[in-house]
Structure 1
Amino acid sequence: MGLLFPLGEDEDGPLYRRVRRGLEDAILAGRFEDGRLPSSREVAAELGVSRNTVNLAYQELITDGVVIARPRSGHVVNEELAARRRADPTEHASPGWLARLESPPGADDLPHVRKPEHWDRYRYAFVTGHLPSEAFPDRAWLRSLREALRGEHRRFSLQDGIDVDDPLLTELVCREILAGRGIAANPERVLITVGSQQGLHLVAGALVGEGSRVMVENPGYPDARHILARAGAELVPGEVDDGGLIVDERLLDVALCVTTPAHHYPSNVTMTGQRRQRLVALARERDIVLVEDDYDSELRYVGRASPALASLDPDAVIYLGSFSKFLAPGLRLGFVSAHPVLLEHLRDLRRYTIRHPSGHQQRALALLIASGEYRRGVRHLREAMRVRWERTVAAVRLHLPDWVMRPRAGGVSVWIGGPPGLDTRELAARLDPRGVLIEPGDTFFFDSPGPARGPIPRHWIKLGFGALAPERIDEGVAVIADEAKKLLG
């Protein structure tokens, strides 16, 4: 193939960004005459870098529209965009801007969760973050949006709330949502956010400073690590087993701990009651702030959901909730429940970033909850997801009987581990031409300094099932099993 491009050893920034710039330069120079790009394996071998580095570079190019990922065809150049950039080189170069941009502190070495823009073109898209479209309560939501613009509701929908939330929504969050999780709260303890991720960002801005030691689960949610690292946190990995986050001596020297006790992200294990008690007791004793991301707690298919961690001590625990997971990820509405003193500070931070979430959407959501349609929609979604969960679990047991599987009792994915020698990044590349999209699990682990460090496991897969039609799940898992067998020889 010949050397594609120099890596620019004197350039700043992470390695994958240098690979990305080199690939983009080669594209604009017309190096790929037929528009087809070499595979990540070929690029990695040619440049002497890891395939993961090349995959990250390709994903950025896909996100920016420079490259298109096509099932069964690999990566191809987006000729329309490339031609436009060749005609206007300043659009590509922007040398003045690169010199002005500053990388967020502490986040360069952390992996990003990236998904192809056209994931829905894959026949078997085992991705998370997408729910069955038929489960969304279209008619009820449209009725609520219309009603929110009528009569007394119109003022709350259209006014500038400055830093105030919709009083009807905060009241209903307390009565219909938090009460169901065992949390006694009043509206003074609720702040509406643009999804739970904004809630964590506000908390990090208020409580995390340069050098603050913060425990995060390992494996865990990559976006949480980015938010905390960019706020200056020193991340401390908290290991997870079948009982959830392990409560051990590593907690003794942290100021804040972020956990997903209902359904751990990504393994879906539920923290045991005994461990919850120990965690809250230790937090009180050592003055540790606990942040509970109540991830997918409503999507439980076996047994009853455990009460929230915040139900044990609502003053010591900051509770992050989301409506996006149960209605639609694109809705972007969530809330924080915490001590009123902290919430007033978070409200001030929110005011000078986004002011407040859409008043129209807040009032429409309040009306949806008040009508009972929200609760009915959650039940409908839970049933649609339960069918997919059962089929995914059955398919893994049939086609991958020797793999480790942690389906547990709910969630939007199953966490499966192949033989330790399996590289799921390589498996993902082999599955792509066959129309199968998976999420390799190494993204959810992170390295840490110290004598106990070891290689990041590369044999895990987060197998999301919400975006797939139930009848395709078995055949999709069969393809994964076939390619894994070939890869392992």
Structure 2
Amino acid sequence: MTIPAEAFFLDRSSDTPLQAQLRRQIIAGVLEGRFRAGEKLPSSRRLAQHLGVARVTVAQAFAELVATDYLVSRDRAGHFISDGIAPLPLPTPTPAPPGGFDWPRLLGARFSQTERTDRVPDWRRFRFPFVYGQADPALVDHAAWRDCAVRALGRREFIPLTGDLYSEDDPELVDYIARHILPRRGIRARSDEILLTLGAQNGLWLAAQVLLGPGRRVAVEDPCYPGLRPILAATGALLLPQPVDAEGLAPGTLPRGLTAVFTTASHHSPTNTAMPEPRRRALLARAAAEGFAIVEDDYEFEMSFAGAASPALKARDADGAVIHVGSFSKSVFPGLRLGYMVADPRVIREARALRTLVLRHPPGMLQRTLAHYLSLGHYDAQMNRMRAAYAERRAAMEAAIAALGLTPAGQGGGSSFWMAMPAGRASAPLAQELRLHDVLIEPGAPFFARPEDGAGFYRLAYSSIPAERIPEGIARIAAALRA
């Protein structure tokens, strides 16, 4: 790696000679660890041109640093950071002095206080990671994805991708979603009814922002996806948590005067319950009669292990009341962060305008690469691999849970099991104990509006753990519960 010339500057108002300033900057970079052994310095000609000094000034600075072992010189290659000088240890951070600028007063910690603390960023180091939403790289065709990226980088396609799409999306990706992805959910949509998003999280945020505000009332399932409540709360709307039962959200118990209802009808998060047809029809009828919107998070539609999946709520939406939010994060890989919103063109126009204010559009390179991945059949091949692998893992987990006497609390398909703790036991201490035994589980508290209501539940997912490890991981959970 070559250190850019722009990393250096000279202060001509200083009494320190220019050559000495340059030497000190290079020495400081080495000692602070910013410049690392083996990295190449800019050529003396390039650096002199950037700094506006004579080339001999740079050459003399380099020569002195070679003599003191900070640099090494290689014939016809240039100057490189030496490995003879070790960086200094990082100093211990000192607490901020009293006084100073009062950022807490201005910021109010409105958003940082919603950060989740139950996530484990280094989950891969655990041998039994029963964590939801993470990918198994072995199920992703790396060569196919790389080939699609190379296609997008071809000269014919790369030139338009270098431009700013303003508020628009890749027409090839939108077309494929309209003609192939949505019909699998029973949805028919035109291009002006589709907006690309940075995953489902971004789609839910856009829907909340265009629908809600102070004084408006929104119903949300309880328990629900933990990232949803902070999104809704940030709008200033009144959140009305609605308990779910064995059939999901109950439309008949919804309060009056709602602006919107947020639901995961395909597979309820986190219990995996699928909303039956009578409730779907009742929810759509109430939305049409009372004028509230339905925001449908298409949670794990593709992963149905409890019979044929029902069409999406949007598929039965004769009145246009449903905003459908989908994502490729679970079906391709989470790091992709691409999804879509399907809604009435007037909703899409508002959401597109808001998206333009924040990020213009998702990266064009990613959009076109995904378009190739879909259209060349790699997506369908990956879905077949994932379904086969997940079916094997689900069978292994189901058998282990039954054999060891653990208690499922949910039903249906999806890539996880919703579990109940023994009476009087809480899942958070269990999760902490299991980490010592190389096992990760997800406690139930973050899923509930009142965390204490989730103390007796936990979630076990199998998307990122091989089938052969599942029985031992479940056995460790059972042993911890017995202990």
Tell me the distance in 1 between the aligned counterparts of 2:192 and 2:93: 56
Matched, 1:394 2:391: no
Q: Give the TM-score taking structure 2 as reference length.
A: 0.78
Name the residue aligned to 2:238. 234
Alignment correspondent of 1:346: 351
The aligned counterpart of 1:415 is 418
| 2:292 is the alignment partner of 1:281 | no
Matched, 1:460 2:457: yes
Residue 86 of structure 1 corresponds to 92
The whole-number CA distance in structure 2 between the counterparts of 1:443 and 1:285 is 33
Instruction: Tell me whether 1:174 sits opposite 2:171 in the alignment.
Output: no
The equivalences for 1:213-224 within 5 A come to 213-224=217-228
Letter of the 2:367 partner, please give it: Q
Where does structure 1 lack aligned partners over 5 or more consecutive residues? Answer: 1-82, 449-454
1:290 aligns to what SS in structure 2?
strand
Equivalent residue, structure 1, for 2:441: 438
Task: For residue 191 of structure 1, report the CA deviation from its aligned partner.
Answer: 0.3
Secondary structure in 2 matching 1:353: helix
SS in 2 for 1:360: helix
- Cα 1:94–1:112 change in 2 (3 A) is farther
Which AA in structure 2 matches 1:103?
A: A
* Aligned mates of 1:111, 1:143 — CA distance in 2: 37
CA contact (8 A) 1:113 1:222 kept: no
Residue 156 of structure 1, CA deviation: 3.9
Shift of 1:154: 2.0
Q: Counterpart of 2:28?
A: none
Distance 1:357 1:145 in 2: 16
C-alpha deviation, 1:111, in angstroms: 7.6
In structure 2, relative to structure 1, the CA distance for the partners of 1:90 and 1:265 (3 Å cut) is: same
Q: CA RMSD in A?
A: 2.1
Amino acid of the residue matched to residue 370 of structure 1?
S
- Match for residue 97 of structure 1 among 103, 117, 121: 103
Deviation at 1:457, TM superposition (A): 3.5
- TM-score, structure 1 as length reference: 0.77
For 2:100 and 2:430, the matched residues in 1 are separated by 37
Deviations 1:102-138 (CA, angstroms, capped at 9, x unpaired): 2328x95x68363122111112111112122111121
| Alignment partner, residue 481 of structure 1 | 478
Whether 1:306 aligns to 2:303 is: no
* Separation in structure 2 between the aligned mates of residue 366 and residue 207 of structure 1, nearest angstrom: 30
Aligned residues of 1:157 and 1:359 also touching (Cα < 8 A): yes
Q: Is the 8 A contact 1:113 1:223 kept in 2?
A: no
Kept after mapping to 2: 8 A contact 1:156/1:359: no
Correspondences of 1:32-111 after superposition (within 5 Å)? 84=90, 86-90=92-96, 96-104=102-110, 108=113
SS of 1:335's partner is strand
- 1:479 is matched by which residue type in structure 2? R
- Residue identity matched to 2:92: R
Aligned length: 394
Q: Any gaps of 5 or more consecutive residues in structure 2?
A: 1-88
> Partner amino acid for 2:417?
V
Letter in 1 for 2:164: D
Contact 1:144 1:367 in 2 (8 A): yes
Hey, what's the Cα distance between the residues in 2 that align with 1:94 and 1:235? 37
Q: Identity of counterpart residues, as a percentage?
A: 36
Change (3 A) 1:425 1:111: farther
Match of 2:53 in 1: none
Within 5 Å, give how 1:251-330 maps onto structure 2. 251-313=255-317, 315-330=320-335
Amino acid in the other structure paired with 1:340: P
Judged with a 3 Å threshold, the aligned counterparts in structure 2 of structure 1 residues 111 and 86 are, in CA distance, closer, same or farther, namely closer
CA distance in 1, matches of 2:257, 2:403: 45
Q: How far 1:155 sits from its partner (Å)?
A: 3.5
